[in-house]
Chain A
């Protein structure tokens, strides 16, 4: 017997019952396509999030209030308000004698309030930041200027609008020089930012920026900072800067034992690896849900193959009567089930790629930067999983078929 003969026989049997073969395949097609889609969208979303973080800058160090595990997310992520981080801490860090590698830094406070201009009025998030922000993060102004050091210390009521906020409040006019109210206080718009693009956490285009003390004292009435960002002169000095910053704040807070830290310091590299971990967990969680449908498809295959064994019991009997060995029958049914799963798998991969591509086009047309990513791992994974399903769920029906006694099966009506 030639190797290809069982393949020919299977091909004949499958094409003889096209609709049944297609229905059997459908479970696998849907399963594989959803695995491919989930992996593609997961990879795209991961790339989007990581690119956002990287775009903030790679030589930044963040200081967050509240202790946290090195590898886990900080307390503020869970909505816990910790009030131990003060403006004095920022000042101490910015002193060269404490942290020799700092370039500049900014404190941040965040909140939300009603903003209005004439009859336009809605609730918006705002951020109080240091006047040095343009030197810390990438800030591109579309018009006007950023606020000055004097405006920051004088509690001036000036504001710089994010791109979307500017357009919401001032459709088609330049907002610079106009007066808006924020939490019932009058503010003068001094600048407007260019479009920056959304980030998964907060969209700078939707923010209103005010001087740090203005935000702290006038709008929020607090004396602490939500977080601090420090720019370090060189990426290679990040670790040293983190150590210096930690000891500086410990001194500020009179902490002797590092285990008692009421703050945490992270650099963007760490943030990246944490985010990669979180997004990976999400991605594989989704993939495992999609994989359930593959298993369901496999059970469907087993079911159809068992029915096929009963339907074709006379055929099996005849094949045995003319000399087919058990192994011949096992091969025939096994190859049939692998052929169904594999062709279903290939169709599923194609459909998955097409749908992921369409999804990428739609997401892009909604104004997001989105990468269309199909990893070869996902394709190989899907293909090998379908072959494995073909073997695992085909084995039982195939063995059952091979054990049929030729005499009984020829009598079978």
Chain B
């Protein structure tokens, strides 16, 4: 049995909106094992998006334990969380959230730019007159190889969503389905362990939607853990396991018995 990548115990989130307390998530407990494909379902306002944002380190829980890959994340600093978001998880949003007027390539490259602190903050041996030339050469060489490396990673991510031919397009020149595939490529580029998808088909026509689901299933077969938030049963049936939420609490946790497999040409109902 593979180890759980996510362990959640009594997780709660309370919003304090100008004195009015709203409990979005209350006392949720469950595990996610490596390689699972989970759909979190529930009507709007059920807390499913909030839960996903906490699981994806976009937000902190008010109470409870959250172990990611065996590590307690409660006391992680902002920078540690940023590093996890960068290396361990990837996000796909309903509204795509691509940078406007920026090429497909640069959009996908974005996480790679943030995968180290700004260079001059890193500890390096002191620059002396003797090693200056070598240092510059190293820096230049490092820059070059980093650039080549990034290019390989971006192109491979583009291939897995069949968007290589759009690499130089600007993000606003794409259709909705293409935008979401670029967003998936961006989530993939750092080879994360878990991919979070928040209503990824919500803004898409059914044909593009099924294509997105097909890619997600393929990524799951390749070994990525996938956590999908949706309110559509049909979409949720593409996962292996469904968590039902209502009023911030988990009401059911069942495996999908009759799993759907997305095929091209099929329509997402």
Where the two chains meet, the residues of A that have a C-beta atom closer than 8 Å to any C-beta of B are 1-3, 5-6, 12, 16, 314-315, 317-328, 331, 405-407, 410
Contact = CB atoms under 8 A, between A and B. Distances in A.
Contacts of B113: 1-2, 5
Given A16-B101, A406-B58, A410-B97, A322 B111 contact: yes
B238 interface: no
B114 interface: yes
10 contacts: A2-B143, A12-B101, A315-B99, A317-B97, A321-B97, A323-B83, A323-B86, A323-B87, A323-B111, A325-B117
A328 B97 contact: no
B233 interface: no
Given A406-B58, A407-B59, A3 B119 contact: yes
A200 B93 CA distance: 73
B44 to A, nearest CB: 13
A322 B86 contact: yes
Contact of A318 (B83, B97, B115, B118): B97
Contact of B118 (A314, A319, A328): A328
Contact of B59 (A5, A323, A405): A405
A324 B114 contact: yes
Nearest to A314: B97
Contacts, number: 79
B263 to A, nearest CB: 31
Contacts of B93: 410
A322 B186 contact: yes
B79 A1 contact: no
A319 B117 CA distance: 14
A319 B110 contact: yes
Given A406-B58, A410-B58, A318 B121 contact: no
A322 B120 contact: no
Contacts of B82: 320, 323-326
B17 to A, nearest CB: 11
A10 to B, nearest CB: 13
Given A405-B59, A410-B93, 13 more contacts: A1-B114, A2-B143, A12-B102, A317-B97, A320-B85, A322-B111, A323-B85, A323-B114, A325-B78, A326-B82, A328-B118, A407-B53, A410-B97
Contacts of A326: 78-79, 82
B86 A318 contact: no
B110 A3 contact: no
A60 B53 CA distance: 86
Contacts of B59: 405-407
B99 A321 contact: no
Contacts of A322: 85-86, 91, 110-111, 114, 186
B116 interface: yes
Contacts of B53: 407
Contacts of B118: 1, 3, 6, 327-328, 331
A406 B78 CA distance: 11
Contacts of B111: 322-323
A322 B97 CA distance: 11
A2 B83 CA distance: 16
B117 A1 contact: yes
B92 to A, nearest CB: 11
Contact of B58 (A5, A6, A12, A407): A407
Contacts of A6: 118
A406 to B, nearest CB: 5
Interface string B121-135: 100000000000000
A3 B143 CA distance: 10
Interface string B78-112: 11001101110001010001010110000000110
A328 B83 CA distance: 12
A321 B97 CA distance: 10
Interface string B37-56: 00000000000000001001
Nearest to B121: A327
A302 B60 CA distance: 31
Contacts of A16: 101
B116 A1 contact: yes
A406 B86 CA distance: 13
Contacts of B121: 327
A196 to B, nearest CB: 60
A197 B53 CA distance: 80
A318 to B, nearest CB: 5
Interface string B188-227: 0010000000000000000000000000000000000000
With most chain A CB atoms within 10 A of its CB, the pick from B56, B78, B120 is B78
A314 B87 CA distance: 21
A2 B121 CA distance: 11
B185 to A, nearest CB: 12
Contacts of A12: 101-102
Contacts of A324: 82, 114
A317 to B, nearest CB: 8
A65 B119 CA distance: 71
6 nearest A-B pairs in the assembled complex, by CB-CB distance? A323-B86, A407-B59, A322-B111, A407-B58, A323-B114, A325-B82
Contacts of B101: 12, 16
Contacts of B190: 323
A326 B190 CA distance: 20
Contacts of A328: 114, 118
Contacts of B186: 322
Nearest to B190: A323
A318 B114 contact: no
B253 to A, nearest CB: 24
A328 B99 CA distance: 16
A100 to B, nearest CB: 64
A216 B102 CA distance: 86
Given A16-B101, A326-B79, A410-B97, A321 B117 contact: no
Instruction: Output the residue of B118, B120, B146, B190 with the most chain A CB within 10 A.
Output: B118
Nearest to A15: B101
